[in-house]
């Protein structure tokens, strides 16, 4: 079973739902995330773990990890989740947390990857699905797919289309044939 972490629109969550993947729970750091509306419409249990309600990020993450475990979550998918995860959370799901990111990491980590690629004027950017570690979009790459920068008017749309195809495919593969986890170069594929 999957647990999905979200902070915003939730189009990647929607892609996971539409792919028929077994989503046990959706957690957010924001109670106004539209992704929570999508989850409720799909009949998935939701909860918000706001930093305002906890002493610090570590305490918040521990409570969130417990809630996910109570819902039977084995694989955590960050889908537009905008907070870094603290080590106590990572330790609860070792090698079982993945993220989707709109660039060819290690290029353009962070929250503005599409704008950063446009500003840099690269010919090709893309999408990465990777394991999550303590750093900012720094975990081992599982899969990448390139996307041409031009035509730039449609770049965002084309990147999201690739995300919505690649993320469900990789999550399905990780659920059906759990790989060797982070630290294995065999896990890297270029789409």
Which residues are annotated as catalytic?
Answer: 101
- In the bound complex, what is the minimum distance in angstroms from residue 164's beta carbon to ligand GRF? 8
Cβ 55 to ligand GRF, closest distance in Å? 27
Piece in contact with ligand GRF (CB under 6 A), picked from 3-11, 49-57, 85-93, 180-188: 3-11
Of the pair 145, 163, the CB lying nearest ligand GRF is at 163
User: How many angstroms separate the CA atoms of 141 and 119, rounded?
Assistant: 24
Phi first, then psi: give them for residue 111, nearest 5 degrees. -80, -5
Helix (H) or strand (E) holding 114: helix 113-120
Considering the complex, state which of residue 59 and residue 116 has its C-beta at the smaller distance from ligand GRF. 116
Q: Which residue in the shown chain puts its C-beta closest to ligand GRF?
A: 80
Minimum gap (Å) between residue 14 Cβ and ligand GRF: 8
12 binds ligand GRF (CB under 6 A): yes
Q: Is 79 in the site for ligand GRF (CB under 6 A)?
A: yes
Q: Within 13 Å, how many C-alpha atoms sit on residue 143's CB side? A: 18
What CA–CA distance (Å, rounded) separates 145 from 4? 22
| Smallest distance from ligand GRF to CB 183, Å | 23
Q: Is the dihedral of CA 102, 106, 110, 115 positive or negative?
A: negative
First-to-last CA distance in the chain? 25
Nearer to ligand GRF, 86 or 128 (CB): 128
Residue 83 touches ligand GRF, criterion: CB under 6 A: no
State how far the Cα of 14 lies from the Cα of 9, in Å rounded to an integer. 9
Q: Which residues contact 48 (CB under 8 A, 6 or more apart)?
A: 27, 28, 29, 30, 31, 36
Out of 2, 61, 97, 102, the residue judged to bind ligand GRF by CB under 6 A: 102
Contacts with ligand GRF by CB under 6 A lie at 8-12, 35, 79-80, 100-102, 163
């Amino acid at each position: 079973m999957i647990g999905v972490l979200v902070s915003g629109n939730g189009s990647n969550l929607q892609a996971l739902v539409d792919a028929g993947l077994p989503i046990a729970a959706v957690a957010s750091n924001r109670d106004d995330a539209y992704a929570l509306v999508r989850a409720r419409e799909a009949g998935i249990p939701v909860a918000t773990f706001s930093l305002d309600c906890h002493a610090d990020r570590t305490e918040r993450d521990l409570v969130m990890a417990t809630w996910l475990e109570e819902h039977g979550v084995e694989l955590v998918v960050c889908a537009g989740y905008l907070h870094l995860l603290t080590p106590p959370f990572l330790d609860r799901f070792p090698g079982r947390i993945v993220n989707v990111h709109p660039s060819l990491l290690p290029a353009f980590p962070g929250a503005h990857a599409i704008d950063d690629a446009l500003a840099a004027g690269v010919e090709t950017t893309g999408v990465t699905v990777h394991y999550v570690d303590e750093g900012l979009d720094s975990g081992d790459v599982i899969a990448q797919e390139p996307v041409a920068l031009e035509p730039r008017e449609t770049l965002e749309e084309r990147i999201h289309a690739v995300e919505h195809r690649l993320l469900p495919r990789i999550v399905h593969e990780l659920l059906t044939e759990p790989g060797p986890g982070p630290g294995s170069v065999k896990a890297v594929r270029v789409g």
